[in-house]
C-alpha cells in the first residue's frame, strides 16, 4: 500500500492546469504543419500561420493559447494499491484547479446553475474527474481543458446494427458538416462506438486523447474507417475556421466498446485545433 497526500495532488493539478493551457502538444503542432504543407487556400494558409505563431507567443510568454481555458476535465487511473490521505479526493482536484486557474491567469468559465442564476463560480470549479481503478500503485492524471465552442458541437445518436459502418460514417460527416467553423477547425474528431448511451460519449472524449495524434485504431476495420472519414471530412471544404480550405480535420480517432444486441450507440466529440491535454504520473 502506497500513500499519496492530497497536498501533492493539489500541487500537481495546479501545475497541469497552467502547462496544458500554455503549451500546445508537439504532436498537434506537427499535424498542423503537415496539413499546412498540403493546404491550397491562401486564406487558410494565413490562418494556419497565425495558429503556429500563437503557439510561439503563448509558450514564450506563458500565456493561455486560447482565452477559453475550458472546463477542467481529468481522466484518472488510480492504482488500487494507493491510499489517498490528508483530505477529500474530489476537493483536492477542485483545489488544484482553483489554484492553477488563479495563479496561471486562466479564464474562469463555469457558472453555478446551468439554467437560472448562471452566476460565475469565479474559480473555474467544480472540475470533472473521471476515475478508473486499475492495478498497481501509481496515480496517472490526464488533464484536458475543453472549450465550450467545440463541446457545443458534440452529439450522441442511438444507431442500430442495421446502420453498419456506413451509418456511423454518415453521422460523423453530418456532425462535422453542421458544425462548420464553430468548433475552431482544423478539428480533432473523436468518435465513440458501442457501450451504451453514456459509455459512447466517454469513448468519444477519450478518443481525443490518443497519442500521438493521428495514430490509427489497432483494429484494421476501424483504422480504415478513420482514414476514409478523414479524407471525406477534408473534402467538405470547410477549412480552417470554416472559411474554406482543404484542412478541416487533423485526425479522426474511433474508440469502441462491446454493446447490447439491440444497440449501436455512436457519439461524436470534436476538439478544436488547440487540442490541449497533458498527463502526469505520481
- Residue 170 interacts with another protein (CB under 8 A): yes or no: no
Which of 34, 80, 152, 215 touches another protein (CB under 8 A)?
A: 152
- Residue 244 interacts with another protein (CB under 8 A): yes or no: yes
Which of 25, 30, 87, 108 touches another protein (CB under 8 A)?
A: 108
Q: Return the number of the residue (118 or 132) whose C-beta is nearest another protein.
A: 118
Cell 494507493, located at residue: 82
- Residue 34 interacts with another protein (CB under 8 A): yes or no: no
Q: Return the number of the residue (83 or 178) whose C-beta is nearest another protein.
A: 178
Please report, as residue ranges, which positions from 113 to 132 form the binding site for another protein (by CB under 8 A): 118, 120, 122
Please report, as residue ranges, which positions from 246 to 265 form the binding site for another protein (by CB under 8 A): 246
- Do 280 and 216 form a contact (C-beta atoms < 8 A)? no
Minimum gap (Å) between residue 123 Cβ and another protein: 10
Stretch of 127-135, 207-215, 240-248, 261-269 lying at the interface with another protein (CB under 8 A): 240-248
Stretch of 2-10, 39-47, 88-96, 206-214 lying at the interface with another protein (CB under 8 A): 39-47
- Residue 151 interacts with another protein (CB under 8 A): yes or no: no
Residues contributing to the site for another protein (CB under 8 A): 40-47, 49-51, 53-54, 57-58, 61-69, 105-109, 118, 120, 122, 148-149, 152, 180-182, 184, 235-246, 272-274
Amino acid at each position: 500500500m502506497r500513500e499519496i497526500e492530497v497536498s501533492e495532488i493539489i500541487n500537481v493539478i495546479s501545475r497541469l492546469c497552467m502547462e496544458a493551457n500554455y503549451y500546445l502538444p508537439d504532436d498537434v503542432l506537427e499535424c498542423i504543419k503537415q496539413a499546412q504543407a498540403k493546404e491550397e487556400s491562401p486564406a487558410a494558409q494565413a490562418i494556419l500561420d497565425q495558429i503556429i505563431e500563437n503557439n510561439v507567443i503563448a509558450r514564450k510568454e506563458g500565456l493561455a493559447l486560447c482565452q477559453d481555458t475550458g472546463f477542467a476535465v481529468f481522466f484518472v487511473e488510480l492504482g488500487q494499491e494507493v491510499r489517498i490521505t490528508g483530505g477529500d479526493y474530489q476537493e483536492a482536484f477542485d483545489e488544484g484547479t482553483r489554484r492553477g486557474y488563479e495563479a496561471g491567469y486562466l479564464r474562469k468559465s463555469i457558472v453555478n446553475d446551468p439554467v437560472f442564476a448562471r452566476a460565475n463560480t469565479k474559480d473555474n470549479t467544480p472540475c470533472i474527474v473521471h476515475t478508473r481503478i486499475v492495478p498497481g500503485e501509481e496515480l496517472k492524471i490526464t488533464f484536458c481543458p475543453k472549450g465550450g465552442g467545440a463541446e457545443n458541437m458534440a452529439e450522441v445518436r442511438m444507431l442500430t446494427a442495421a446502420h453498419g459502418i456506413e451509418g456511423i460514417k454518415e453521422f460523423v460527416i453530418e456532425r462535422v458538416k453542421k458544425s462548420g467553423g464553430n468548433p475552431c477547425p482544423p478539428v480533432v474528431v473523436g468518435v465513440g462506438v458501442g457501450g451504451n448511451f453514456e459509455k459512447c460519449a466517454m469513448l468519444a472524449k477519450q478518443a481525443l486523447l490518443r497519442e500521438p495524434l493521428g495514430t490509427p485504431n489497432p483494429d484494421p476495420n476501424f483504422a480504415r474507417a478513420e482514414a476514409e472519414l478523414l479524407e471525406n471530412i477534408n473534402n467538405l471544404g470547410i477549412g480552417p475556421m470554416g472559411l474554406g480550405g482543404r484542412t478541416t480535420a487533423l485526425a479522426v480517432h474511433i474508440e469502441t466498446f462491446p454493446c447490447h444486441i439491440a444497440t449501436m450507440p455512436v457519439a461524436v466529440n470534436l476538439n478544436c485545433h488547440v487540442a490541449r491535454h497533458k498527463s502526469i504520473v505520481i
